[in-house]
Structure 1
Amino acid sequence: MGGACSRKRDQLDNEDGLHRGVSGRYCKSGSSKWLATTSTRPIVEIQREKGKCPSLMELCIYKIREDIDNYGSFSKLPRDLSQLIFNELVNSQRLTNVSLEAFRDCALQDLYLGDYPGVNDNWMDVISSQGSSLLSVDLSGSDINDPGLIYLKDCANLQALNLNYCDQISDRGLQHIGGLSNLTSLSFRRNSAITAQGMTAFSGLVNLLKLDLEKCPGIHAGLVHIKGLTKLESLNIKWCNCITDADMKPLSGLTNLKSLQISCSKVTDFGITYLKGLQSLSILNLEGCPVTASCLDSLSALASLLYLNLSRCSLSDDGCEKFSKLGNLKVLNLGFNDISDACLIYLKGLTNLESLNLDSCRIGDDGLVHVTGLRHLKCLELSDTEVGSNGLRHLSGLCNLESINLSFTVVTDGGLRKLSGLSSLKSLNLDVRQITDAGLAALTSLTGLTHLDLFGARITDSGTIYLRRCMHPTWLPLCFWLIFYINFEAPIVIPMR
């Protein structure tokens, strides 16, 4: 039952597991006209289960899907209808290299084929036949090789191209996309074959807004080729442990950059000095970088900075007074650093904070007095700290709190009463051995809870009576399901609504 983060104390967060597409591996990309659902079942069946009558259009598309082998070409149909048919075939995994031929010259705008089985260079001829109408292509996880990218030269208006996990594409393949000057989004996650030399092709992508090179270990010294992409707003080079301070210098002129992800790189305080001119930067992820509190001098010059991740860095209490210069921050992650209550003194002025992560820091009851003024705080992460019941009294006035993680703390039953007034609370993690049935009695006033984590707590059948008091009536049958598992001493996660 305990939160996933509770069980991964020694691991860095892997965002590949979040917000995935049809297959569960990739995020959906595409233009705003993307019409497909993420279900692999026909929409007609879904509508019937909901007691709704499918539209005539839905019935027609369903019929075409079932008889797809009888159709040779959809090129005479209106583009929007051809797009809907294509999306339905993809979502139901009925599209094959044979049925794909029916979409030749259909002027489709969006082709989402991320992790779709069987996609290879043989599909590229039909894909390229969409010509100047094609705006978005996702070929993530496919078997596309360098020669397959040659076909994209006929798609001059292509705006979004996703080639994540296409590990057969190398520097040679990059040369074939260098002429797609209308690209605004390009993603090459987890590719070990791309090098600094191949990145010369990026220099011509002058309209690029988003570039994702996460887990591309060979791109050191290649960022010099994007220094002219002055429209760039988002750059992701997380998990590229080849990136050093020298790679930060070419970024100094990208003044439109709003999001920069460089976690798990070798960038130090010196490298951060190159970022001082990025006045539009609002998101900066430095997780796992060997930076210290000295970098805060440079970061304080970033007037637009709202999100700062310094988790697993080399922070200590020394120099933490510089946090007081970051008054505009809304999200601050300091988890897994060697900081104590002494550091929290300098956070009390960050009154705009909405999320604060102190996971596994040396924080105790006395330090929480410094968060009492953070009235906008919605999320507070205190897992694996020395916080106990006495410290919770300092949280009682944070009426906007929606999520608290108290797993692996020394909080006891008595301390939970100090949370009873937090009416906005939706998520509470009590993966704490000391919590018993008696502690649950204090939670009955938290009627807004939608997630309650009691992994590790010593709850019995008797304790479930308190759970029923703060659960929505329509979920009462769930209580009996929980009792069954509690009797067998199994972990439980309670989806309260």
Structure 2
Amino acid sequence: MNRELDIIAELRKAEVNFKFSDNSPERVGKVYNVCSAKDQDRIVDLASKLEALKILDVNHSKCITEKSAKSIGQMRQLESLRISFSSLTGTALRHLKWLRRLRLLEAQDVSSLSLGAPYLADIKSLRVLDISGTDFNDAAIEHLQKNVQLEELIANCTKVTGSGFSFFPSECALSDISIRGCPLTRFGLDSIVSLSRLRHLSFSSSEDSSNVDLLGVQWPELETLDFSEISISNEILKELSQIETLTWLRIDDTNLANVDLSVLNRLRNLRDLGLSSTGVSADAINGLVELSNLETLTLADNEIKTHELAPLRTALPNCDIWCG
């Protein structure tokens, strides 16, 4: 205990470089404003000797060296690690396989992260992984099928088309996938929705991809669905309305002016609906009177005045309507 107190005392002297909480039973460490890799190596090495450290944040590090990565790998109680917006070599990630308790890894905008995909696959305890803004592609995604406990994957603004998910067993643990701003293909989308435990899905078109056709997609029992900039027809909306398990739906930034919204009345479990920037009319919105469980309706950036929705407010008095 005295040894640990000595370490804490030394870290306090470097308060501009390290913050932590003394709240038992865990400590939260954050390394920031580090002037040099040498300073960071020293601080991370000291932090690795705090046996109770469960959360470490080294976001925005100029360079996470091999030495620092090795020290992090010695933090055997670590459950959450944030290395976003940092520079490190892909091989440095090999030290993280020793983190047997690691549940969450945030690695947004980490350069050359795809090179470390085989090492990420060695972190068997991982539940949540955020690789947004990295160079991850489908070949790198394929490695993640080995993360058998992975439940949530956030891969926004990457090179992922979705085809890498075709190698995942349909009964894998993945229940939440976000791939907004990715060059998604129809084959990729079909591969994703074939995952039987998928409950939460978020995606959109990107400048690099053609518009993904949603007609005929075999949707699983989703609870939340969020997509934008995807062309929607009456036939597609009719198919979407068959996902009776939906409680949360976002259809933003696409033209719904000529689409029959009344089919959405089939979604009796829906609690939150977003139709921002869709060109919908007040008359179409007033037709959603059968959504008796709806609690929130977001209509930002549409030419609808609040008073025009009086019929819907009367029919759904417990629903908050936001016109923006």
TM-score, normalised via structure 1 length: 0.57
**Unmatched 5+ stretches in structure 1:** 1-74, 77-102, 432-497
Deviations 1:344-373 (A, max 9, x none): 121011111111111111213533122111
For residue 130 of structure 2, what is the aligned residue in structure 1?
236
Alpha-carbon shift at residue 142 of structure 1 (Å): 3.7
- Work out the CA distance in 2 between the residues paired with 1:146 and 1:258: 32
Alpha-carbon shift at residue 170 of structure 1 (Å): 3.0
Residues 1:226 and 2:120 are matched in the alignment = yes
1:252, 1:278 within 8 Å by CA — same for their partners in 2?
no
For residue 156 of structure 1, what is the aligned residue in structure 2?
51
Alpha-carbon shift at residue 107 of structure 1 (Å): 8.4
1:351 alignment partner, SS class: coil
Match of 1:270 among 154, 157, 163: 163
For residue 374 of structure 1, what is the aligned residue in structure 2?
267
- Work out the CA distance in 1 between the residues paired with 2:257 and 2:212: 14
- Work out the CA distance in 1 between the residues paired with 2:123 and 2:212: 38
Aligned pairs for 1:79-118 within 5 A = 104-105=5-6, 118=15
2:271, 2:295 within 8 Å by CA — same for their partners in 1?
yes
Residues 1:417 and 2:310 are matched in the alignment = yes
1:366 alignment partner, SS class: coil
- Work out the CA distance in 2 between the residues paired with 1:339 and 1:315: 14
For residue 119 of structure 1, what is the aligned residue in structure 2?
16
2:129 alignment partner, SS class: strand
Alpha-carbon shift at residue 330 of structure 1 (Å): 1.1
1:199, 1:225 within 8 Å by CA — same for their partners in 2?
yes
% identity of equivalent residues: 24
For residue 322 of structure 2, what is the aligned residue in structure 1?
429
- Work out the CA distance in 2 between the residues paired with 1:386 and 1:423: 24
Residues 1:285 and 2:178 are matched in the alignment = yes
Alpha-carbon shift at residue 118 of structure 1 (Å): 4.9
Alpha-carbon shift at residue 135 of structure 1 (Å): 3.4
Match of 2:75 among 177, 180, 183: 180
2:7, 2:46 within 8 Å by CA — same for their partners in 1?
no
1:259, 1:284 within 8 Å by CA — same for their partners in 2?
yes
Q: Give the partner amino acid of 1:209.
A: R
**Unmatched 5+ stretches in structure 2:** none
TM-score, normalised via structure 2 length: 0.85
Residues 1:393 and 2:286 are matched in the alignment = yes
For residue 257 of structure 2, what is the aligned residue in structure 1?
364
For residue 321 of structure 1, what is the aligned residue in structure 2?
216
2:170, 2:196 within 8 Å by CA — same for their partners in 1?
no
Call closer, same or farther: CA 1:317–1:162 in 2, change over 3 Å. Answer: closer
Call closer, same or farther: CA 1:296–1:312 in 2, change over 3 Å. Answer: closer
- Work out the CA distance in 2 between the residues paired with 1:184 and 1:310: 28
Match of 1:136 among 27, 31, 44: 27
Residues 1:258 and 2:151 are matched in the alignment = yes
C-alpha RMSD of the superposition: 3.0
For residue 336 of structure 1, what is the aligned residue in structure 2?
229
For residue 204 of structure 1, what is the aligned residue in structure 2?
98
- Work out the CA distance in 1 between the residues paired with 2:246 and 2:306: 28
- How many residues get paired? 312
User: Whose strand fraction is larger, Structure 1's or Structure 2's?
Assistant: 2
- Work out the CA distance in 1 between the residues paired with 2:59 and 2:189: 33
Call closer, same or farther: CA 1:184–1:304 in 2, change over 3 Å. Answer: same
For residue 187 of structure 2, what is the aligned residue in structure 1?
294
For residue 246 of structure 1, what is the aligned residue in structure 2?
139
1:294, 1:319 within 8 Å by CA — same for their partners in 2?
no
2:29, 2:53 within 8 Å by CA — same for their partners in 1?
no
Deviations 1:376-435 (A, max 9, x none): 112111111121122123311112222222223243567412312212213x2223xxxx
